[in-house]
Amino acid sequence: MKNLSQLTDDKLVKLYEDGNNDAFEVLLSRYKSKVFSYIFLIVRNRELTEDIFQDTFIKAIATIQQGRYVESGKFLGWINRIAHNLIIDHFRREKNENTFSADGTEYDVINNSNLSEKSVEDTMSNEQVLADVVRLIEFLPESQRSVVRMRYFEDLSFKEIAEKTDVSINTALGRMRYALMNMRRIALENDIYLELK
């Protein structure tokens, strides 16, 4: 049998469903740094990141064991959606200063001085751009937000995005174009430098 590390994500999930715990260990080692970074870039707190990271994989394990994992894209996109939902749940529960106001007029996350502290994770410019993108997409209309998430966080092609959202490729491309224009505008209004392509 092939070495587990050479198997696709979907095959590893199936093996784990069938009781092979080593298969999930491979998935965990394959994606733990990306999921951890994704969470940290949003919450900017190591202890909170570790809690949400653990909750993310506990929820993933439970979902797979219950046979509810659906191959609707890439495993990384699926696990990041779980993490993202847990982050939103946390901020809603805590009514933290970093939550967005319902009327969209407060930009606390963007202007919060705690976010500008330098750490090892901040040294790479692409990580900073990713963090800013994560914050900015919350201000987009849902149709544009979903295209950006699928493209940047689920790594889907525009053809896959079009199929998943039941629109033409031109519509998906148009939504991405408008999303990027809106994000640039919001970034300029808040003095955030982005290299969006």
Segment 68-81, tens digit of pLDDT = 888 766 898 899 98
Picking from 104, 159, 162, 161, the residue whose alpha carbon sits closest to that of residue 136 is 104
142-152 and 158-165 helices, crossing angle to 10°: 140
Q: Is the pLDDT of residue 166 over 90?
A: yes
Kindly give, in sequence order, each residue whose CB lies less than 8 Å from that of residue 57, ignoring residues fewer than 6 positions away: 28, 35, 79
Q: For position 179, what pLDDT does the model report?
A: 85
SS3 18: coil
DSSP 106: -
Dist. CA 99–CA 117, nearest whole Å: 19
* Domains of the chain, CATH where assigned: 1-96 (1.10.1740.10), 105-197 (1.10.10.10)
Taken as a whole, the chain contains a residue count of: 197
Kindly give, in sequence order, each residue whose CB lies less than 8 Å from that of residue 141, ignoring residues fewer than 6 positions away: none
Q: Is the pLDDT of residue 112 over 70?
A: no
Which range is most confident: 51-55, 87-91, 108-112, 189-193?
A: 51-55
The pTM of this model reads: 0.53
| Buried b or exposed e, range 180-197, using 16+ CB within 10 angstroms | bebbeebbeeeebebebe
For residues 134 and 18, which has the higher predicted lDDT (pLDDT)?
Answer: 18
> Which residue is associated with the tokens 């805590």?
94
Q: What is the mean pLDDT of the chain?
A: 77
Q: Is the pLDDT of residue 174 over 80?
A: yes
Q: What percent of the chain has pLDDT over 90?
A: 19
